Structure 1
Amino acid sequence: MSAQFELPRDGVTRIMAAPPRLNLRRAASYQNDKGPLSSTSSRFNFNHLVFSPPPSPGLPPPLVTRPRKLSNAPRPSRVFRFVFWVASLVAFLYVASLFARRFVGHVPSVMSWAIESQDEYEMVGQDELPDFPTPIAVTDVHGRSKWTVSIPPTHTFPLSVQEYADMCAQCHEVAVHVRELHGESTSKQQARASYYYRDPYFVDVGEAESHGLLPGFSKTSKATGRSLAKPLIGESWDYMVEKPACKTSLTFVLESADGGLGTTLMLLWMAYGLAQKEGRAFFIDDTRWAYGRYTEMFQPPPPADCVPPPRHEMLPCPHGARHLVVSAGTARDTFGPAFTAQFEDVRQDSIERERPLFNLARVGYEALFRINKDDRPYVMERIEELKLKTTHGTNGDAANSTIIGVHVRHGDVHPVEYQYNGAYIPLTIYKERIQQAAVAQHNRAMPESVEPAPAPLVVLASDDPRVFESEEFSGVIRAQERIKLAGKVPVVQPVLDKSVMHPFKEEAVGWEGGFFRVMFWNLGRPSIASKQTQISLAPEATKLRAFIGRAYVMDLAVLGATSDVMVCTISAMGCRLLAVMMGWEKAMVKEQWVNIDGDYSWVAL
């Protein structure tokens, strides 16, 4: 019987739908087929969320494949697999890096110091070691902060004076920074600021290389790098004798922005005395010394019994480094307040406080002040000649008279006494103190004598040629006459025709007024290039500078060996050097070293 449709009388059509199991529509209609689905669409229903499509009547149920969804969103399983693989890769790389850090060596986390100005430094983080010398803060495999000094093994040695000075300031800053990372307060750090304080967070270069914090020389280039390094003075290159590497050393760099030789000699002597006290091997470098080669002025120092380390292991800071470099740029750090507090005898209130520092300089003088073989015979002959004049008497002088040495420094060094600090100590004051010293020396030698003191034999050394021509020092004897600083010889200028162009001739320059560093630095420079900071000097110019240094050294040698009394000004470093050469007993205890520049006692620096 066929189905019948019953129409209601109210005029509203009603449709009776077949049950879902008898619905023979296509399965695709249960999916999101074509056409938008909206709340206003007649095709919108919830059947696709509730009912499943019936199986195909022509195939058995096991062979029916579910249709793929056409959504663009990734399935959760795929996202999970992607995250899992990424996490596994990261974990593998992390474990590999830990293995490499522990057994192979690693590139540390580096923080170096960039210079923005002369007194300002900025911490810079980076992943690779810098290609310039600088102290660096590093983190080891355990995450602990340390610091060391990185100098590329192929970098030129020595560094400049300014580079050494900047590095010392940077060492202090990075050391403070690392201590702060470990939680140390400022007061605790200041309490440890002693001269021989060992920073527990500092890693020496050799140790840093062995732990992989610094690369260092490769095994193949280590011998090559040592062979290419310029030999140090005091280094023995006897290949027939196998010498061990120095455990500790101190290398003094002969380079200074000051043209004067006195300060360099005092630093050199004290550095040698400090090295002997600390048990360090001692070496000298003269690569950029303004006076030429060290051996042209002095004999080499006593040779060390060990081989110096690679140059990049020689550090200017901290003082606890195994291989230390000392120069004019590091003088304030090496011989500064901490050094003075360490070595001064604070129990004494008199000049005895300075005796330990004096003794350090004396040790250096006795070992290093050995004049070269060319000048030494003349100096020894000159000393004997002056002593014979006092023994036998010449030029009307009585026998056994006193030799009074006088050192007059003019030029760019002015007295420390206030009333003369804009000029120089008058020569009349020198003459008065010479007479007083002669009387005091005669009374000390012959206390019961009623005869007047014989005229002393005055031996003079000065950087100003006009002092020898002055009335106060007429008739005095020069300390040495082999090399003299001459004044300008007056030349009568010819009358030239003004209507004719003549070639330019530089005016002759002498040493009137004394030694000036500006004049010294311009020796051998062409006048047109006088403002250049660096210029390659001709061998003649370097030889001329060496002559000036040799004259200064011979003056000191003669005065120090012959003078019974020394009259000089403490503002001049040569005056303080002469006190060391005379010895503590003679100069300080017997007061035969006389300073006429204020009421000041001896100081080293």
Structure 2
Amino acid sequence: MPPTLDLSRTAHTKVVFSPPRINLRRAASYNHDRGPLSSTSSRFNFNHLVFSPPPSPGLPSLSPPVKKPTRRLIGTIRPLRVIRYAIRLLSIVVVFYVSLVVLTWLFGEPAPSPNEPAKLAKPAQPAQPLARTEGEMISQKGPPDFPTPIVVTDHRGKAKWTVSIPAGSEFPLSMDQYTDMCLKCRQVADRTRHLRSHGHGLHQVSLGFGSDSAEDFVDVQEAQEAGYLQTGEKYLAGGREAGKPVCKSSLTFVLESSDAGLGKTLMMLWMAYGLAEKEGRAFFIDDTRWAYGKYTALFQPPPSPECSAPPSHEMLPCPRHARHLVASAATMDVTFGDLTKAANPLSESHDRTLRKTQFSLARRGYEALFRLNKEDNDYVDSRVRELLAKRIVPKSKGQRSGLAVGIHARRGDRHPLEYQYRHSYMPLNLYGDTARELIEAKFNHSGPFGGEDKAAKEHSLVVLASDDPMVYESAELAGASRAQERIKLASKKTVQKANPDRSVLHKFVDEAFGWEGGFFAAMFWNLGVSTAHAAAGASGGGGGGGGGAAPSAETLRLRSLVGRAYMMDLAVLADASDVIVCTVSAVGCRLLAVMMGWESAMDEGNWVNIDGGYGWMGLEW
């Protein structure tokens, strides 16, 4: 056992503590006096990594001294920061400039100050030809060189719109142009309303898209005076008659229509006249491109107003409140507006007030315009007297007479609304049975006249009008009297009888065609056209809607005959019949109701529709 150190026996009683800076560790630990340390040695540890020898006061420090931050002198410029700020400023300027260019392109120049004169106070410059696409808005200094509505700015910087029809434009415009202009009017008016609501001016004349506000629209005459549109002798030339001033307001009805039938055009014509009279407008009729030829070939001239027609460029299809309005089949929705927006015609929920308004307008037009040409009118009068004489009971008290039942049987390309017959036609026996039931109901009672009622029943008659010549020969309507015999639609059998014998050598003629089956649009458009020419036109896509080349004089003559026959049929039925049986799907049936009058046709029930339980429809379909 090794000896121990006994401190109690020493002469020193105080313990000496080493100062803190003195390292009590042996120098051998740094000098490796016991040999090198290795990873395999049992004495290897990490102390040499944790503890380092004290720094020598005479050697430099192993770590670099920390530099003290130096103060930057005031006014010193850093180049990189200057470049960065310059790039940011340049970007802001470029974005602002591009935005200004885009806004100027979209909305034109800024509105002038109150003291600055309006730039459009001077006449607009002639327009340059423009290329445009659907949905595009175009700005230019002058009005365009094609008919279109445009957006302009008044002297106070408020956006307005008008309709520009360049000088030299034909009148009337085509149906496609009128249809396109009516669409553009709604779009441009909406665009104007948007600009006004956002406080934008539009000093350039612009084509826009988008309502129909009266306060936003500038009529042509005011637009010319303000300098929005061109003026000049050629531009202002119109149909002014000698000794008559130009009408303050007018409505011109264009008879052109893609519908081969005459009934719908006639209904619109009558309603347009009633509308013009109601609004105090002078009324004019244009038959330049009417498929039936001249209006005076069928009717007597309309009543002449005390003023002359306005210049053609002032006659606008839209808006509805334009001073001089043009109406046609292409502008029906604009002209008649809400009058044509009724319930589904295949339902019974028709607004009676709306229908009666249409009826009253059409009735006023009928009273003023339905005057057949002199020859046809004289024939109708004599034919009506002849039919009325047939139903008078001879030697009766008080001139007793039978009941005259008129039947209008429309076939051809007009099919019934009744579901079970929608792909065919109403059976002819329904017409005959309805007529007999009406006669039985009239006289099948013991009246005060006794035997005279029976005689009146025997003198009752049926007056028949149809577009199908085979209907007159049917067994179901045997004994019926033709409404008129002045112009007949012949069947193929009748035409062949008039042609020479085919066994005899003669000059070649086209194969005969008749009206079996009724009136068809394709047959109407090809009247007076040879078979080869009709085939070529069909293959070329022309003529189907009355378009293509202008019809020949012979074609117009044949079409006029068809129209005259149709008008005389209606006139005789309306004047000679006490009750009329027809199908409301045919426009001719609706015209007959107008010709009878609301009281007789509707209130008294003398207009009988056998095509379902539908009422009078007017222009609804």
Both proteins in one fold, TM over 0.5: yes
SS of residue in 2 equivalent to 1:136? strand
Conserved? CA contact 1:147–1:202, under 8 Å: yes
SS of residue in 1 equivalent to 2:385? helix
Conserved? CA contact 1:110–1:125, under 8 Å: no
Q: 2:406 maps to which residue?
A: 405
Deviations 1:260-304 (A, max 9, x none): 000011000000000010000000000000111001111111110
Deviations 1:461-501 (A, max 9, x none): 0000000010011121100000000010256985799xxxx
| Deviation (angstroms), 1:164 | 1.0
Instruction: Give the letter for the 2:376 counterpart.
Output: D
Conserved? CA contact 1:111–1:126, under 8 Å: no
SS of residue in 2 equivalent to 1:566? strand
Q: 1:60 maps to which residue?
A: none
Q: 1:213 maps to which residue?
A: 228
Q: 1:459 maps to which residue?
A: 463
| In structure 1, C-alpha distance between the alignment counterparts of 2:131 and 2:446, rounded to whole Å | 63
Q: 1:82 maps to which residue?
A: none
| Deviation (angstroms), 1:338 | 5.7
Instruction: Give the letter for the 1:209 counterpart.
Output: Q
SS of residue in 2 equivalent to 1:251? strand
Instruction: Give the letter for the 1:154 counterpart.
Output: G
Q: 1:203 maps to which residue?
A: 218
Which of 606, 610, 614 is the aligned partner of 1:592?
A: 606
Q: 1:153 maps to which residue?
A: 167
Asked if 1:438 corresponds to 2:462, the answer is no
Q: Give the structure-1-normalised TM-score.
A: 0.72
| In structure 2, C-alpha distance between the alignment counterparts of 1:105 and 1:356, rounded to whole Å | 44
| Deviation (angstroms), 1:448 | 8.5
**Distance 1:494-1:265 versus aligned 2 partners, 3 A rule:** closer
Q: 1:563 maps to which residue?
A: 577
| Deviation (angstroms), 1:572 | 0.3
| Deviation (angstroms), 1:142 | 3.4
Q: 1:71 maps to which residue?
A: none
Q: 1:547 maps to which residue?
A: 561
Q: 2:385 maps to which residue?
A: 384
**Distance 1:172-1:112 versus aligned 2 partners, 3 A rule:** farther
**Distance 1:180-1:460 versus aligned 2 partners, 3 A rule:** same
Q: 1:365 maps to which residue?
A: 366
Deviations 1:411-443 (A, max 9, x none): 100001111010000001111111122123336
Q: 2:288 maps to which residue?
A: 287
SS of residue in 1 equivalent to 2:197? coil
| In structure 2, C-alpha distance between the alignment counterparts of 1:403 and 1:505, rounded to whole Å | 43
Question: Identity of aligned pairs, percent?
Answer: 52
Instruction: Give the letter for the 1:522 counterpart.
Output: N
Q: 2:137 maps to which residue?
A: 123
Q: 2:55 maps to which residue?
A: none
SS of residue in 2 equivalent to 1:202? coil
Asked if 1:273 corresponds to 2:274, the answer is yes
Conserved? CA contact 1:248–1:280, under 8 Å: yes
Alignment of 1:522-541 (within 5 A): 522-526=526-530, 527-528=532-533, 529-531=536-538, 532-533=542-543, 534-541=548-555
| In structure 2, C-alpha distance between the alignment counterparts of 1:352 and 1:221, rounded to whole Å | 47
**Distance 1:504-1:543 versus aligned 2 partners, 3 A rule:** closer
- Across the aligned residues of Structure 1 and Structure 2, the Cα RMSD in angstroms comes to 3.2
Alignment of 1:60-75 (within 5 A): none
| In structure 2, C-alpha distance between the alignment counterparts of 1:441 and 1:113, rounded to whole Å | 70
| In structure 1, C-alpha distance between the alignment counterparts of 2:315 and 2:445, rounded to whole Å | 51
Instruction: Give the letter for the 1:277 counterpart.
Output: K
| In structure 2, C-alpha distance between the alignment counterparts of 1:259 and 1:447, rounded to whole Å | 51
Unmatched segments (≥5 aa) in structure 1: 1-93, 186-192, 232-236, 342-347
Alignment of 1:240-389 (within 5 A): 242-337=243-338, 351=352, 353-389=354-390
**Distance 1:571-1:102 versus aligned 2 partners, 3 A rule:** closer
| In structure 2, C-alpha distance between the alignment counterparts of 1:431 and 1:103, rounded to whole Å | 72
**Distance 1:604-1:173 versus aligned 2 partners, 3 A rule:** same
Conserved? CA contact 1:113–1:170, under 8 Å: no
Q: 2:153 maps to which residue?
A: 139
**Distance 1:319-1:113 versus aligned 2 partners, 3 A rule:** farther
SS of residue in 1 equivalent to 2:512? coil
Deviations 1:178-236 (A, max 9, x none): 11112289xxxxxxx8xxx75211111111001000113x1x4367x33xx5x9xxxxx
SS of residue in 2 equivalent to 1:173? helix
| In structure 1, C-alpha distance between the alignment counterparts of 2:486 and 2:508, rounded to whole Å | 33
Q: 1:480 maps to which residue?
A: 484
Deviations 1:230-256 (A, max 9, x none): x9xxxxx4x3xx322211100000100
SS of residue in 1 equivalent to 2:581? strand
| In structure 2, C-alpha distance between the alignment counterparts of 1:141 and 1:366, rounded to whole Å | 47
| Deviation (angstroms), 1:128 | 3.0
**Distance 1:256-1:108 versus aligned 2 partners, 3 A rule:** same
SS of residue in 2 equivalent to 1:221? helix
| In structure 2, C-alpha distance between the alignment counterparts of 1:262 and 1:184, rounded to whole Å | 47
Q: 1:59 maps to which residue?
A: none
Q: 1:419 maps to which residue?
A: 420
Conserved? CA contact 2:255–2:289, under 8 Å: yes
Deviations 1:550-602 (A, max 9, x none): 00010111001111000000000000000000011110011010000000001
Size of the aligned set, in residue pairs, is 470
**Distance 1:588-1:291 versus aligned 2 partners, 3 A rule:** same
| In structure 2, C-alpha distance between the alignment counterparts of 1:310 and 1:357, rounded to whole Å | 30
Task: Out of 101-110 and 252-261, give the one that drifted further.
Answer: 101-110
Conserved? CA contact 1:112–1:123, under 8 Å: no
Conserved? CA contact 1:464–1:485, under 8 Å: yes
| In structure 1, C-alpha distance between the alignment counterparts of 2:503 and 2:294, rounded to whole Å | 45
| In structure 2, C-alpha distance between the alignment counterparts of 1:122 and 1:555, rounded to whole Å | 51
Instruction: Give the letter for the 1:264 counterpart.
Output: T
| In structure 2, C-alpha distance between the alignment counterparts of 1:133 and 1:409, rounded to whole Å | 40
Conserved? CA contact 2:302–2:369, under 8 Å: yes
**Distance 1:377-1:270 versus aligned 2 partners, 3 A rule:** same
Alignment of 1:229-244 (within 5 A): 237=241, 239=242, 242-244=243-245
Conserved? CA contact 1:487–1:510, under 8 Å: yes
SS of residue in 2 equivalent to 1:172? helix
Unmatched segments (≥5 aa) in structure 2: 1-111, 200-210, 343-348
Q: Give the structure-2-normalised TM-score.
A: 0.70
Structure whose CA Rg is larger:
2
